[in-house]
Structure 1
Amino acid sequence: MTENELSRIVFDMGLKIHKKLGAGLFEHVYEECMFYELTKAGLLVEKQKLLPIVYEDLRIENAFRLDIIIENKLILEIKTVDYINPTHKAQLLTYLKMTNCKLGLLLNFQSNVFKDGITRVVNHL
């Protein structure tokens, strides 16, 4: 499945979750619901994946944590913030580069309209 096909599935599941729960809950609630839906759909999904960073001869274990990674292709960063700022995008782009993934989605469940809370971040897609 391509990154774009996966992102469409994520959109549909996120919309379903947003319609049922609305905005205003903690990030981990939406993350758990998204993980549940993706797993139920039979996709290979990991949540709270800790990854190292290598700097010269130094390996830093657990240097960063991915909220959700799907099929080792698509990274989801779940937010419940008033707005997505450039730091959020930069963080996700760094995750994409460190994992060699091409596509990431920032899903801001705080948005009143779910589609307005989605930001695509690409790494050479």
Structure 2
Amino acid sequence: MTENEIAKEVVDASFAIHSQLGPGLLESVYEILLADELGLRGLSVKQQEPISIKFKGREFAEAFRADLIINDKVIVELKSVDALKPVHKKQLLTYLRLTELKLGLLINFGEHLIKDGISRVANGL
């Protein structure tokens, strides 16, 4: 699957979950449900995947954790807040650069309409 095909599945699954449950749950609940739904759709899902980084010639294991990595191609960063801030997109772009992945999705389940809470962040895609 391409990054765009994976993203379509993630968006569709997010819509299905949000349609049934709405906003208001903890981010961790949406993460568990989205990982399960994507697994049912045949996608490979890594939750809270530790990512190491190199800085000044040294490697730091588990520098951060990605909420979800789908098919080793797409990072999904989940939020459950009233509104996203510009720093959230910058954070995801940094994750993409450090992992050398090309596409990330920032999904805020706290929005009244899930379509208003989904942002694509590309890194050379």
Query: Which TM-score tier does this pair reach, normalised by the shorter chain?
Result: over 0.9
Counterpart in the other structure of 2:39: 39
For normalisation by structure 2, the TM-score amounts to 0.97
Separation in structure 2 between the aligned mates of residue 52 and residue 12 of structure 1, nearest angstrom: 30
Separation in structure 2 between the aligned mates of residue 52 and residue 95 of structure 1, nearest angstrom: 11
Matches within 5 A, 1:1-125: 1-125=1-125
How far the C-alpha of 1:57 sits from its partner, in A, is 2.8
Post-superposition Cα deviations, 1:14-64, rounded to whole Å, max 9, x if no partner, equal 011001111010000000000000111111110100011111232111101
Counterpart secondary structure, 1:14: helix
Counterpart secondary structure, 2:59: strand
State the one-letter code of the partner of 1:88. Answer: H
Counterpart secondary structure, 1:33: helix
State the one-letter code of the partner of 1:44. Answer: S
Separation in structure 2 between the aligned mates of residue 2 and residue 70 of structure 1, nearest angstrom: 11
Root mean square deviation, CA, Å: 0.8
Counterpart secondary structure, 2:115: helix
**Alignment identity in percent?**
49
How far the C-alpha of 1:7 sits from its partner, in A, is 0.8
Separation in structure 2 between the aligned mates of residue 26 and residue 44 of structure 1, nearest angstrom: 23
Separation in structure 1 between the aligned mates of residue 77 and residue 15 of structure 2, nearest angstrom: 15
Equivalent residue pairs, number: 125
For normalisation by structure 1, the TM-score amounts to 0.97
